[in-house]
Structure 1
């Protein structure tokens, strides 16, 4: 009977685990819808800012913003790694950290120094274990991206690029494709491509790619206040900050989708294990009953 009791305890334990994973699945499904709506709501702003900035640069080709200047030689780069604060979301963090590690080793082989900014606790832990140069960080981002908190972390990288301390800045994040698919992406943030391509249109773009760049069929003219240079400077800064905000929003949508799928898989596996344990329990219990009956019959026959 000790075996029956042990199996019953295991069944109860798995049932409790399934209740937890089922609850987490439902919570993730609710948060996923909100995260996807938030992610999609930010895209029109980014598209419009990109269109205006591209038109301004076409109207004033004589002025080149520091964010647009290509460096002749890449000696040092900055990487902004976007991950989640919590786990239990499948291989989401593993995929982006594996891609970042591969790029990090490639930079080292080329003799390029790399400095990191961590957005998310999982990325911070990974970079700390790796022993990298960490210049800024921001964790506990919550369920909704807060631009004011992100600006402080990424400003370090932006200022270093303008000052010439780094020759390029890259953004490592998960791009949301659909509920079942999230792609780890390593895109160049600075210097910006001449056409201001949308880096989230296609996953992993090479430096300077212009896919998704806005195409204008008409000439554009604006009334500037106070002047064109100030407007372009402020607009490109907002554009870069918007890219980071969009990256965090995409990663949060990917997180909730991946967690929902992972918890559903865990709940389904728990249900299967419960069924298997229940079958073993029934067989063991039947065997014990059969044994007792055999002993009773044997004892009666002996009398």
Structure 2
């Protein structure tokens, strides 16, 4: 049995999408997700996305990082799936219900409401999450936000000067973060503009991270550094983030289909 897939990306953050809503797909395991994501011996992607039927929404989206770990949310993947679906949809995720719809500039996603309590990030022990009394070398006093998955954000003079490839995994695996953490380093360039780089939990350095853009924008807004609508520019391109008065985060940006293909699960031990 050959299984069809769609290769997609959001600003260079790339996905292998398996549509199990109407087609038969193999039972997804951490090992199979990692094998398919491998860029040398698999299809290659930052995240594998599995679509399934849902009783609570139009469909369910499961997300696996390239190391095989399953995660709660992915903003860029949601935009890609919204493009693939082709119409407005409510989507069930492990991080909660979200919605996606076509919009000017690509796909607009309602990401839900941010969480700030230390045990909702989660952290290993109680502390102020707006200005955390912790640091790693020159990176200190971050803010933490959960936007469906956990993020810590450092505001720095020059995001490109940070050795994120070295510090990212150290912070990701710090015991302070019992479920690991996504690491963001951001530079404020105007009241409506942020530059951002992200070390993604389970995936490493990435060209774009939708939840990272949302978390960083919310962290900057909480600190009064920017207004309630900003453009966050990542290495792969810009995302527009708005924190509405009803506490909902809305992210808008581009997504694209790269190609389609099929694979034999037996080639990957399934």
- TM-score (ref. length: structure 2): 0.28
Structure with bigger gyration radius: 1
Whose RCO is larger (CA < 8 A, sep 6+)? 1
User: Which has more helix, going by share of residues?
Assistant: 1
User: Which has more strand, going by share of residues?
Assistant: 2
- TM-score (ref. length: structure 1): 0.26
